[in-house]
Amino acid sequence: MELAEVQDLAGRLEEAIARVVVGQERAVELLLTALFSEGHVLLEGAPGSGKTLLARTFATCLELEFTRIQFTPDLMPGDVLGTNIFDFKTGDFQLTRGPIFTDFLLADEINRTPPKTQAALLQAMAERSVTIDGETHPLRDEFLVVATQNPIEHEGTYPLPEAQLDRFLFKTIVPFPSREEEIDIVRLHGHRSATPRPEEFGLAPVTNRSGIASARECVRALRIADEVVAYIVDLVRTTREHPSILHGGSPRAANMIATGSRALAAIRGRDFVLPDDVKELFLPAMRHRVVLSPAAEVEGLSVDTILEGILDSVRAPR
């Protein structure tokens, strides 16, 4: 796939999603960036802000096997991964595959299940494989997780472990719409109380496994200058040295920002990465990876404010 085709594919996906989802252009662009850079996305927002509808609409536009898991307090790891069940006819254990064996996994309200069950996704998200009773089973190359969560201040939520958060390329905040957007939402969806189904809007898949693989191959070939690589590393290292941050980003974070920056450049029709691409992705790629110091929390500082300060303090290459 040529660069112009990647840009055209992204445009067609954005256009299709906009038929169902009003606004949320930033979240849509980050979902496309993650898709083309093999990353997973965590959508955070208050109930009713459209997180699940956005994820389902995105999945409908892709000709991939889709599975949704509604995470609940009583969900167990075996409910996600599957389990080996003894077959009395053959005398052997047979694997009953769980919903994780799919292409596109919607992990809905992921922080309403305890960390033990959340951890069932760790290996799958990092290695695209799962181990059950000592045997490793590969997942498809297209395996993608889009998770939704409510803000941790809400009742009935469990904070995601740092290792789980580090598997996500982006944490995207899904805000409430503007007044004008909310008027459009009510005009479009206000004739029913149930959540709209993307299929009812005549959406058809825009691309398939082959198209996604070709787009990813094109993205991997994009140029990223040494000075931009150094800029990414300096930004991430600064999070580990900042006095208001207890735990900063890892080398995995730097790799993910570089990969995502390549995809964002391709979506915008460029075959090279600009420092501005890095700046745009720094907050969504880092806000879930850093832990504030107790002093910063007492002062009421937010993660985004500190990350914005780091962007201002680290000199970008020209």
**Which domains are delineated in the chain?**
1-191+206-219 (3.40.50.300), 222-318 (1.10.8.80)
**Across the strands, what pairs with 68?**
106
pLDDT at residue number 153: 61
How many Cα neighbours within 13 Å face the side chain of 74?
A: 0
pLDDT at residue number 146: 95
Q: Judging by DSSP bridges, how do beta strands 135-138 and 129-132 pair with one another?
A: antiparallel
pLDDT at residue number 260: 96
How many Cα neighbours within 13 Å face the side chain of 17?
A: 28
The series of mean pLDDT values per 10 residues for the chain, 318 residues long, is 91 93 92 95 89 91 92 91 81 84 93 88 92 89 91 75 90 91 88 76 90 94 95 96 92 95 95 96 95 90 94 92
pLDDT at residue number 154: 66
**Secondary structure element (H or E) that encloses residue 115, with its range:** helix 115-118
Chain centre distance of CA 90: 41
Find the helix packing angle between 251-267 and 275-286, rounded to 10°: 130
Q: Can you tell me which residue has the tokens 């993650």? A: 34
pLDDT at residue number 95: 80
